Each structure stands twice: as structure tokens, then as C-alpha cells.
Structure 1
Amino acid sequence: MKPQRIFITGGASGLGFALAQICAKGGWQVCIGDRDIERGEAVIGSLQKWQPSALFVPCDVTRMNNLESVAKQLQEKWGGVDVVVNNAGVAQVGKIADTTLSDWQWIIDINLLGVVRGCKVFTPLFKQQGHGYFVNVASMAGLLDVPNMSAYNATKAAVVSLSETLQNELAKDNINVTAVCPSFFRTNLNQGMRSTIDGMDAKLDKLMSSSKLNAVDIAQLIMKAVERKKFLVLPHRQGRVAWYLKRWLPRRWYQKMLYSRIK
């Protein structure tokens, strides 16, 4: 794939950093944004070994002015940006009665509005330069409906819906969209996770450890999707099967299947 210019939120670790590594090795101009300044400063050197022009910028996706500053910097340094990956996200687990409204507001502000801010800030730049590409990282949680994850599921479902809408809305402006919906895989999602369920850290760690795919595998699938302008990326086979069953089975059959798997 021809080298381009890419900006990745949450790019200092996990899937974001895996994407940054692939792009840097491929000769892309890479900018990672992350609110973890210590981590960002620690990893940028490894990217610069492959791509000396690689950048790290402190960026909190809950702050519109942070993203506006990044867009301005990239326009000044690179003359624009080709791909924006809205990847930053957090997790919250808990029953609806036990999840506080402040936790709802926290996860919506990052998982949903963080993506909204990224799309809102960079769309004018994409239109100005005549092309652009959004990669919005959602989750299989946005397509399925596992109990005790209502806040997380809802934000990821909203990211899928937002991505679908923008694919239609921005097509005339030569702006493409990909929505990525991985299942559990080894990442740092449990760091900073909020949970009202005992032992959830251990359960989540077990689920992530059992995945046959890692962050690099998923990053490679994302790059292929961008090259082919594919809208929906469902990396995990088990997740794809569950989604197909949900779409085609009567609701009560799907629910029985779901509960038999999560007991």
C-alpha cells in the first residue's frame, strides 16, 4: 500500500501502537496521540527508528481543543493528513442498577464523543484537501448484547451507527469510513476499567488471553480494509458467527445461545 499520512488516537499502546508500528515500517508519516504523556514519550523513539519523522502529541479526546491543535500541527508539518484513526477508548462493566450516571457520562465522553470530536475536527480538513479516511474503532460489543455491559455496549453501538451515517454523508466528499469491531484480544483495555462486578479484571484477562488474534493481527486487517475501502472489519471468527446468528435467528433462539455461552 502506498505510504500516506496517519494520525492515531490512543496510539501509545495496544491496537493504536500496533497500527503505528506497521505504518512506520511501511514508510508512512505517523503521528500518535495519547493522554498518557509518559508512555507516548517512551515509545516514540521506537517508531522513529523506522520513520524519523514520526510524532507524538499529547492528546485527550475529551478535549476538543487538543484535537484541533493536532489538526493544525499536521496541516503545518505535513500539509494535511490522509487517515485518522479514532481508537482511544475505555471499558466499564456493571449491571444497569449498579452503574452510576457519572460512569455513563465518563464512558460516553471518551468512547463516543471522543470519536465524534475526531470526526468533527478532521472532516473540514479532509474536505479542503479533497480526500480523507476515518477508521473508527468500535467493538463486537456494539453489535452484540452481552449482559452487564450496557454502558460499554451502548457507546460502541453508537460508534458503529455514527460510522454508517458518515459513510453515507461524506461519500460525495471522497471521504471513506471503516468501522472496526474486534472481540476480546490482548490489550491494555482493563487498565482504568471501571467495574461494579467482583473479579471482573481476572475474567477479562482470561478472555483476552484466550484470543487467537493479537493487536498486530487486527492492525494488519485494518490496513487491508483501508486499502480495499472496506467498511466493516470483524476480526474474530467467533464474533462473526455470533453476529450472523443474531441477525438471522429469532430473538429468543439467539438469547438462548448467548446465555449458554456466557454462563
Structure 2
Amino acid sequence: MQPQRIVITGGASGLGFALAQVAAKAGWKVCIVDRDTERGEAVIGSLQRLQPASLFLTADVTRISDLEEVAKQLDAQWQGVDVVVNNAGVAQVGKLSDTTLSDWQWIIDINLLGVVRGCKAFLPLLQRQQKGHIVNVASMAGLLDVPNMSSYNATKAAVVSLSETLQNELTADNIQVTVVCPSFFRTNLGDSMRSTVDGMDKKLDKLMASSKLNASDIAKSIMRSIERKQFYTLPHKQGRIAWYLKRFLPRNWYRSFLHKNIKKNDKS
């Protein structure tokens, strides 16, 4: 696969940084975008050792002006961008009755509107080029319906729907779209998580630790999807099975499977 120019929001840690490393090792020009300036400056050196052209730019996905400025800078420095990865995200856990409207607004502003802003900021550049690839990082939560995660599930489902719609809208512009739906894996999502469920930190840590895939594995699957121009990226086998069951089984059968697995995880 020929080296390309990739920009990644939430790129200073977790999956975003893992993807940046994989891309840099492949010889790609990499720009990590993050609102955490201290963390970005701490990690950019390791990327530049892999690919000297790597950049770190500070931006907050809740401000479209920040992302438009990133697009402007990359257009000037790189004469364009090939792959835009909308990866920045947060988590909120709790029943609908326990989740405040301010928490809903917080997670929508980042998980959904952050992706919308990333797409809108870079679309003029990609459309002018008449080529490019948008990668939106959602979650298996966007395809399934695990209890006590209504706001997280809803924002990730919206990212899936947005991505499906963009794939239809952007075909004429020769712009590819990929939506990434991983299950739990070791990342720093818990650092910013808001929860009304007691002991959720420990439960999340246990779920992440049980994953057979790590951030680097997910990153490599994203790179394969970019190369193959593949729309859905579901890296976890168990996640794929659950999604197939939801799609093809009667709703009650699928719900029975889901709740049995939830109880099994609670006991383990």
C-alpha cells in the first residue's frame, strides 16, 4: 500500500496513537490532533522517529474552527490529506433515568458532533481533491444495545448511521468511508468516563483486560480496511457474532443471548 497522508483526532493516546504508530511505520505522513497539548507534545517525538514528517496539532473536536484550522494547515504543509480519522470520543454509563441531560449534551457534543465537525472541516478539501477516505470510529455499542449505556449506545449508533449516509452521498466525489466498531479493548476510555453505576471502573477494567485484541490489533484492522476500501470494520469475533445474531434472529432470541452473556460477564 502506497504511503499516504493521515490525520487522526484523539491521536495522542489510545487507539488514535496506536493507529498513528502503525501508519508511521508504514511510511505514512501522520498528523495527530488532540486537545491535550501536554500529552501530544510528549508523544510526537516517538512518531517522528518513525516518520520525520509526523505532526502534532492542538484542537478540540467541540470547536469546528479548530478543525478547520487543522485542515488549512495540512493543506498548506502537505498539499492535501488522504485519510481523515474521526477517533476522539468519551464514555458515559448509567440508566436513562439516572443520566442527566447535561451528560447527554456532553457525550453528544463529542461523540457525535465531534465526528460531524471533523467531516465538515475536511470535506471541502477532500471534494476538491476528488479523492480521500473518511474513517469514523464508532463502537459495537452502535450496533448492539447493551443496557445501562443509553447515551453511549445512541451516539455510536448515530455515528454508524452518519457513516452509512456519507458513503451514499460521497460516492460521486470518489471519497471512501469506513466505520469502525470495536468491542472492549485496553484503552484510556475510562479516564474521562462518566458513570452513575457503582464499581463501573473495575468492571470496565476487567472487560478491557479480557479482550484478545489490543489497540495495535484494532489499528492494523483499520489500515486493512482503508487498503480494501471496506465499509464496516468489526475487529472482534464475538462482536461480529452478536451483530449477526441481532440482524438475523428474532428480537426475543437475540435479547436472550445478550442477557445471558451480560450475566456471564458479571459473574466472571
Q: Considering the TM-score relative to the shorter chain, is it more than 0.5?
A: yes
CA separation in 1, counterparts of 2:120 and 2:44? 26
CA separation in 2, counterparts of 1:144 and 1:51? 38
Deviation by residue 1:160-217 (Cα, 9 ceiling, x = unmatched): 0000000000010000000000000000000110000000000000000000000000
Cross-structure match for 2:164: 164
CA separation in 2, counterparts of 1:59 and 1:22? 22
Deviation by residue 1:92-127 (Cα, 9 ceiling, x = unmatched): 000000000000000000000000001111111101
Structure 1 spans left out of the alignment, 5+ residues: none
Cross-structure match for 1:12: 12
CA separation in 2, counterparts of 1:234 and 1:23? 19
SS at match of 1:144: coil
Cross-structure match for 1:29: 29
Aligned length: 263
Q: Which structure 2 residues correspond to residues 45-56 of structure 1 after superposition, within 5 A? A: 45-56=45-56
Cross-structure match for 1:100: 100
TM-score by length of 2: 0.97
Q: Which structure 2 residues correspond to residues 176-255 of structure 1 after superposition, within 5 A? A: 176-255=176-255
Q: Which structure 2 residues correspond to residues 108-127 of structure 1 after superposition, within 5 A? A: 108-127=108-127
Say yes or no: does 1:134 pair with 2:128: no
CA separation in 2, counterparts of 1:250 and 1:128? 45
Give, as a single letter, the amino acid of the residue that structure 2 aligns with 1:77: Q
Identity %: 76
CA separation in 2, counterparts of 1:233 and 1:129? 25
Give, as a single letter, the amino acid of the residue that structure 2 aligns with 1:2: Q
Deviation by residue 1:205-263 (Cα, 9 ceiling, x = unmatched): 00000000000001000000000000000000000010111111111111111111112
SS at match of 2:96: coil
Structure 2 spans left out of the alignment, 5+ residues: 264-268
Cross-structure match for 1:79: 79
TM-score by length of 1: 0.99
Report which stretch shifted further, 84-93 or 250-259.
250-259
CA separation in 2, counterparts of 1:36 and 1:121? 20
CA separation in 1, counterparts of 2:234 and 2:22? 19
Deviation at 1:62? 0.3
Deviation at 1:25? 1.1
